[in-house]
């Protein structure tokens, strides 16, 4: 089981990409007892009934079937675009197929993250929410894996042509074009560094905070990239607005108050 997939930072990473994320209990420890070295992504559909619910396949994807032990993918994508992390380790999702995108024949389970998306595969229309989340999820995972090579995203039907049809109703060339566009756009949640947000600093993060405060109606400071007294007063007002008192309302940005302002935060 790869430590990279188990890393708690994966959830924050997916949030930064504008995705709503839930987890199945025990996901970090879940996986078949085999090596897992992800470097690609295989897209699937679940074949659940179109009226069966948002996460109709959660039980099967998590625990498997009588003929195939679970987990059956690392990630389950709901009909509303919510991402659910199911497993961090080896999952039975790819089966025989390949080679493709540097993955040896029949080794998809070892080298690819599987995404099962809820869809009946029989003509059910993919909702805009589900498709947009599918694109951004694949882009976010490529970023997590450290690559911008969209050829590493492919359908089960491309891994096992003639044997599989999933994800049905999706043209994978167009799908990859949308993933590429999402990669170019980058994460939808801006990240700021705490170490750059102290009085006297001059940098892009300072300007981001000023602009975000202005959108909240707190805008007495100028729009330069300098952290001066005016910004400290503005940020104190933001802290007080969010219930901070005393030394916690000193006008110096902290992780929690920055997150309330809509930022991802790193030291």
Q: Tell me the domains of the chain and their CATH numbers.
A: 3-185 (3.40.80.10), 191-266 (1.10.101.10)
pLDDT at position 8: 62
Q: For 171-191, how does the pLDDT look when each residue is reduced to its tens digit (9 = 90+)?
A: 999 999 999 999 999 999 888
d(CA 209, CA 22): 28
Mean pLDDT, rounded, for 193-206: 96
Tell me which residue of 60, 70, 74 sits closest to 144, measured CA to CA: 74
The predicted model scores a pTM of 0.82
Q: For 114-167, how does the pLDDT look when each residue is reduced to its tens digit (9 = 90+)?
A: 999 999 999 999 999 999 999 999 999 999 999 999 999 999 999 999 999 999
């Amino acid at each position: 089981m790869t430590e990279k997939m188990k890393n708690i930072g994966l959830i924050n990473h997916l949030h930064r990409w504008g995705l709503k994320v839930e987890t199945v209990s025990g996901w970090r420890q879940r996986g078949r007892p085999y090596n897992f070295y992800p470097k690609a992504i295989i897209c699937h559909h679940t074949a659940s009934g179109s009226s069966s619910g948002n996460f109709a396949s959660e039980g099967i994807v998590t625990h498997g079937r009588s003929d195939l032990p679970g987990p059956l993918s690392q990630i389950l994508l709901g009909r509303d675009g919510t991402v659910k992390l199911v497993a961090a380790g080896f999952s039975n999702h790819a089966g025989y197929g390949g080679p493709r995108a540097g993955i040896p024949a029949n080794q998809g389970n070892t080298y690819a993250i599987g995404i099962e998306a809820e869809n009946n595969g029989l003509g059910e229309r993919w909702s805009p929410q589900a498709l947009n989340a599918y694109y951004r999820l694949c882009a976010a995972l490529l970023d997590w894996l450290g690559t911008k090579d969209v050829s590493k995203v492919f359908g089960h039907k491309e891994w096992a042509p003639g044997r599989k049809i999933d994800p049905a109703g999706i043209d994978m060339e167009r799908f990859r074009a949308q993933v590429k566009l999402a990669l170019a756009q980058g994460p939808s949640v801006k990240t700021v560094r705490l170490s750059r947000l102290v009085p006297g600093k001059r940098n892009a993060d300072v300007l981001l905070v000023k602009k975000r405060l202005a959108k909240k109606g707190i805008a007495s400071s100028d729009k330069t990239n300098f952290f001066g007294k005016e910004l400290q007063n503005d940020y104190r007002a933001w802290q007080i607005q969010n219930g901070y008192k005393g030394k916690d309302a000193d006008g110096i940005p902290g992780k929690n108050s920055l997150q309330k302002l809509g930022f991802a935060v790193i030291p």
